[in-house]
C-alpha cells in the first residue's frame, strides 16, 4: 500500500481528541512518526494508533502550548528522537461563546493565546532552524469559517455563536498563515490553513447547529477535516501555499 507520509515526522497540537486525534491517527496510518501535543493525556489517541499500526512510532508531549519554554522543549524532544521535522499542524484551540458585553479579559486572552500565540511559538520553533536548514516543511494552521464571517451561528441562537475572541483569533491565524507562506516559500516551506465549519469536537459538544443552509445537511466529523489536512501535509501540495480551505459542508461559497 502506498503511504503518503512514510518516514516523515509530524507535530500535532490538540492531539488528545477531536480533529487533532483523528489527524494523528491518519498521519500514522500514512507512515508518519507522530508527535502528540496536548494539555491532557493522549492515551486514547495512542491506543487507536497502536491498534491500527503495530510498528507506529510516536512521542507524547504534555503541557501548556502557550508557554514558550514548553514549546521549545517539545521541539527539542521531537528533534532528538526523530531528527528532521517535516510537518506542523497547529490544531489546538479554545472557544468562549460570549458576547462583548459578557466577555472577560481572561477569556479573551485565553482564546487569543491558545489559538494564535501558541501557533506562532510552534511555527517559530520548528522553522528556525529545523525547516529552514532542511529546506522543506509543511505547516497547517487550523482556523475556522468563524475567522472569515465573524462567527458560525448555532441554530440561529445568539448564545451558540462563536465569541468575538474566537472569531478574532481565527482571523488572525488566517493572516499569519498568509504571512508565513509569503516569507518562507523560497525555503521550500508551505503554510496553509484548513477552516472547518461546525464540526464534532469538544468545542461544539452540546451545541445544536442548524444545517438547513448548508449544501450537505450534517455537521462535519474529525475525519472530514483530517483528510483535508493530509493534502496540505504531503509533498504533492508543494505548489500550494497561503491558501484557506473551507471544509464546511457548503455553508459558505466563494
SS3 207: coil
Most distant CA atoms of the chain, gap in Å: 55
> Which three three-digit cell numbers place residue 11?
507535530
Catalytic residue at 166? yes
Burial of 54 (0-12, 13-18, 19+ CB in 10 A): exposed
Rounded to an integer, what distance in angstroms lies between the CA atom of residue 84 and that of residue 79?
6
Rounded to an integer, what distance in angstroms lies between the CA atom of residue 95 and that of residue 160?
11
Rounded to an integer, what distance in angstroms lies between the CA atom of residue 224 and that of residue 213?
19
Rounded to an integer, what distance in angstroms lies between the CA atom of residue 199 and that of residue 218?
9
Active-site choice (166, 231, 239, 251)? 166
Query: Among all residues, which ones are annotated catalytic?
Result: 166
Amino acid at each position: 500500500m502506498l503511504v503518503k507520509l512514510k518516514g516523515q515526522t509530524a507535530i500535532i497540537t490538540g492531539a488528545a481528541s477531536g480533529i487533532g486525534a483523528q489527524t494523528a491517527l491518519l498521519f500514522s496510518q500514512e507512515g508518519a512518526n507522530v508527535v502528540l501535543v496536548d494539555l491532557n493525556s493522549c492515551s486514547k489517541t495512542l491506543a487507536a494508533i497502536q491498534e491500527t499500526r503495530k510498528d507506529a512510532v510516536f512521542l507524547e508531549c504534555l503541557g501548556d502550548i502557550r508557554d514558550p519554554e514548553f514549546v521549545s522543549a517539545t521541539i527539542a524532544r521531537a528533534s532528538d528522537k526523530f531528527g528532521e521535522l517535516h510537518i506542523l499542524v497547529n490544531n489546538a484551540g479554545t472557544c468562549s461563546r460570549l458576547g462583548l458585553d459578557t466577555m472577560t479579559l481572561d477569556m479573551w486572552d485565553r482564546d487569543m493565546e491558545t489559538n494564535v500565540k501558541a501557533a506562532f511559538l510552534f511555527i517559530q520553533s520548528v522553522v528556525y532552524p529545523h525547516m529552514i536548514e532542511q529546506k522543506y516543511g509543511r505547516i497547517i494552521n487550523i482556523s475556522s469559517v468563524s475567522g472569515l464571517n465573524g462567527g458560525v451561528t448555532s441554530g440561529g441562537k445568539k448564545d451558540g455563536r462563536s465569541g468575538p475572541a474566537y472569531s478574532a483569533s481565527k482571523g488572525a491565524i488566517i493572516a499569519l498563515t498568509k504571512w508565513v507562506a509569503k516569507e518562507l516559500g523560497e525555503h521550500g516551506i508551505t503554510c496553509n490553513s484548513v477552516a472547518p465549519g461546525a464540526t464534532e469536537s469538544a468545542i461544539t459538544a452540546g451545541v445544536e447547529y442548524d444545517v438547513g443552509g448548508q449544501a450537505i445537511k450534517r455537521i462535519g466529523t474529525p475525519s472530514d477535516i483530517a483528510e483535508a489536512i493530509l493534502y496540505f501535509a504531503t509533498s504533492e501540495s508543494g505548489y500550494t501555499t497561503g491558501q484557506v480551505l473551507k471544509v464546511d459542508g457548503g455553508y459558505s461559497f466563494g
